Amino acid sequence: MNREAATSMMFSLYVTLGVFMLLAIRNPPESRSLIAFTAWSSLAHAVVMGTQAMRNMVGRGELTGVSVLVVIGVTLIALAPAKPAC
49-58 pLDDT, tens digit each? 999 999 988 8
Asked if 26 and 32 count as a contact pair (C-beta separation under 8 A), the reply is no
pTM for the whole structure: 0.83
pLDDT band at 3 (very low <50, low <70, confident <90, very high): low
| Mean pLDDT (the chain, rounded) | 90
Greatest CA separation found in the chain? 49
Helix (H) or strand (E) holding 84: none
Rounded average pLDDT over 12-30: 94
Whether residue 2 is predicted with pLDDT greater than 70 in this model: the reply is no
The span from the first CA to the last CA of the chain, in angstroms, equals: 48
Residue-wise pLDDT tens digits, 28-40? 999 999 999 999 9
> Which residues in 6-19 are b (16+ Cβ under 10 Å) and which e?
eeeeeeeeeeeeee
